[in-house]
Amino acid sequence: MNRSESLFEQAQKTIPGGVNSPVRAFKGVGGTPVFIDHADGAYLYDVDGKRYIDYVGSWGPMILGHNHPEIRAAVLAAVEKGLSYGAPTASEVEMAELVCEILPSVDQIRMVNSGTEATMSALRLARGFTQRDKFIKFEGCYHGHADCLLVKAGSGMLTFGEPTSPGVPADFAKHTLTADYNKLDSVKALFEANPDDIAAVILEPVAGNMNCIPPVPGFLEGLRALCDQYGALLIIDEVMTGFRVALDCAHGHYGVKPDLVCLGKVIGGGMPVGAFGGRADVMAHLAPNGPVYQAGTLSGNPVAMAAGKAQLKLLQRPGLHDELAAKTETLIKGFKAAADKHGVPMAINYVGGMFGFFFTDEAEVTTFEQVSKCNMDHFKAFFHGMLDEGVNLAPSAFEAGFLSMAHSDEDIAATIDAADRVLAKIAA
Ligand code: PLP
């Protein structure tokens, strides 16, 4: 038994399923999760001393690579001064100004501690602002684990085959209307059936919790128009895509203006952070100025602000996102070429620093329905084959992959070589 296996056995005695977040448990792919000792740049090192080229990046935040020296230095400097004050700091003001400067769609922003808090609070604000209860989300989109958002959610929920979690009262779920991603007609039908009751549409602008599904042309624009027509707010959940698809996020990349934006992951540089912001007239409804309550003991935490600001400043370097997108394209086209060479049917999607690959005969994957029909046996074999080769991919066919600026041409070439060997075995 190696150290990961013995730690996993030990962990299961005191931690449910041995993990603090379900997808880490490898339930979707089988086997024992790898326990990590440390990370640096593009690499993770496990407790048995094995190195992995990492395409999970802590599920998104590590866009500049693990343990980036400038981010680490900023964190250490903040730690020297104190860990939390529960009182305003100049650092929070700088963070808010930085985000408002980068994102023209954000007039004001409130920091929270996770993506879940960001979406939950944005939705409450949208409901308070519009004085309506219902909202529309998309099947396969994940927005964290608040009750009303755990309805037909993606990612871990899909991995475990539960469309909606037990423990979510039907009374809560009844206000959550679900539509089909990339199918504008399904949204239109919900608005037509509930013309005065829908507070908001919330979506991932590139769906990253049902693998990686970019919006088809016209989808985001169509949602914007429907929200305007029916007086609903458009909430773009950029927790995954924010500052990763482009510096001005996915909504900037696709040229669509949200009313509210949710952020997380990259904005915290690896510390627990989320945020939501947007139109000043909507944000004015938030406590203490307005009646919609939202709060947090550790919100705007000085250590997290230091990490997030350091990362965001580094991300402002002109050309960085083009370089990241080029790395992503090289990697995923390499996977596709290897799959074609060995006759393993595969489709790919990619945008900015996000990618997805699908074991399917379909030439193009744009819907949740297509994702759910992909070949899971091929995915599991590919995942484990790559892990053996020292490449860490997300242990679920319903998660997007992430590149970082720390991935060198050599890392990417080595990953494609590994994929070639693994796909050869799958084809055999
Ligand atoms: N929204 C999106 C799009 C996400 O991908 C996630 C997490 O993966 C969340 C919200 C929830 O964020 P957190 O896990 O920080 O609560």
Q: For tokens 């995954």, what's the residue? A: 240
- Separation CA 99–CA 248 (nearest Å): 9
Which of 143, 158, 212, 262 has most ligand 1 atoms within 8 Å of CB, for mutation?
143
Identify the band that residue 165 occupies on the pLDDT scale cut at 50, 70 and 90. Answer: confident
Sign of CA dihedral 146, 147, 153, 155: positive
For ligand 1, whether the C-beta of 113 sits within 6 Å is no
Q: Are 278 and 261 in contact (CB under 8 A)?
A: yes
Residue with the bigger pLDDT between 155 and 145: it is 145
Instruction: Tell me what percent of the residues of the chain surpass a pLDDT of 90.
Output: 93
Identify the band that residue 167 occupies on the pLDDT scale cut at 50, 70 and 90. Answer: confident
Q: Are 162 and 174 in contact (CB under 8 A)?
A: no
Q: Which of 399, 408, 296 is nearest to 355 (CA)?
A: 399
Per residue in 262-284, pLDDT tens? 999 999 999 999 999 999 999 99
- Separation CA 202–CA 290 (nearest Å): 22
Distance 386 CA to ligand 1 centre (A): 25
Instruction: Tell me what percent of the residues of the chain surpass a pLDDT of 70.
Output: 97
- The amino acid occupying position 234 is L
CATH architecture observed for domain 69-315: 3-Layer(aba) Sandwich (3.40)
Active-site annotation holds for 152: no
Active-site annotation holds for 257: no
* Residue 75 pLDDT > 60: yes
Give the pLDDT of residue 166: 84
For ligand 1, whether the C-beta of 242 sits within 6 Å is no
- Separation CA 125–CA 132 (nearest Å): 11
* Residue 158 pLDDT > 60: no
* Residue 90 pLDDT > 90: yes
Residue with the bigger pLDDT between 372 and 164: it is 372
Per residue in 297-354, pLDDT tens? 999 999 999 999 999 999 999 999 999 999 999 999 999 999 999 999 999 999 999 9
Determine which one of 43, 52, 55, 142 is catalytic. 142
Give the pLDDT of residue 154: 60
- Separation CA 7–CA 369 (nearest Å): 37
For ligand 1, whether the C-beta of 237 sits within 6 Å is yes
For ligand 1, whether the C-beta of 240 sits within 6 Å is yes
Give the pLDDT of residue 104: 98
Give the pLDDT of residue 157: 57
How many other C-beta atoms can be found within 10 angstroms of the C-beta atom of residue 185?
10
- Separation CA 238–CA 250 (nearest Å): 7
For ligand 1, whether the C-beta of 209 sits within 6 Å is yes
Give the pLDDT of residue 162: 56
For ligand 1, whether the C-beta of 108 sits within 6 Å is no
Q: Which pair of structure tokens corresponds to residue 341? A: 């060479």
Instruction: Give the global pTM.
Output: 0.97
Give the pLDDT of residue 159: 53
Which of 119, 158, 299 has most ligand 1 atoms within 8 Å of CB, for mutation?
119
Determine the length of the chain: 428
Kindly report the backbone phi and psi dihedral angles of residue 195, in degrees, each rounded to the nearest multiple of 5, phi listed first: -60, -30
Identify the band that residue 172 occupies on the pLDDT scale cut at 50, 70 and 90. Answer: confident
- Separation CA 283–CA 72 (nearest Å): 32
Give the pLDDT of residue 244: 98
Ligand 1, closest atom to CA 204?
A: 3
CATH topology of domain 3-66+321-427: Aspartate Aminotransferase, domain 1 (3.90.1150)
- Separation CA 276–CA 293 (nearest Å): 14
Domains of the chain by residue range: 3-66+321-427, 69-315
Give the pLDDT of residue 9: 97
Q: Are 353 and 329 in contact (CB under 8 A)?
A: no
Q: Write the ipTM.
A: 0.99
Distance 240 CA to ligand 1 centre (A): 7
The DSSP secondary-structure symbol of 352 reads T
Pairing of strands 233-237, 198-203: parallel
Per residue in 233-254, pLDDT tens? 999 999 999 999 999 999 999 9
Active-site annotation holds for 237: yes
Ligand 1, closest atom to CA 274?
A: 15
Per residue in 94-153, pLDDT tens? 999 999 999 999 999 999 999 999 999 999 999 999 999 999 999 999 999 998 888 776
Distance 237 CA to ligand 1 centre (A): 9
Per residue in 408-426, pLDDT tens? 999 999 999 999 999 999 9
Distance 374 CA to ligand 1 centre (A): 24
Identify the band that residue 160 occupies on the pLDDT scale cut at 50, 70 and 90. Answer: low
* Residue 49 pLDDT > 80: yes
Q: Which pair of structure tokens corresponds to residue 21? A: 């977040």
Alpha carbons within 13 angstroms on the beta-carbon side of residue 428 total 8
210 CB-contact burial (10 Å; exposed 0-12 / middle 13-18 / buried 19+): buried
Q: Are 209 and 399 in contact (CB under 8 A)?
A: yes
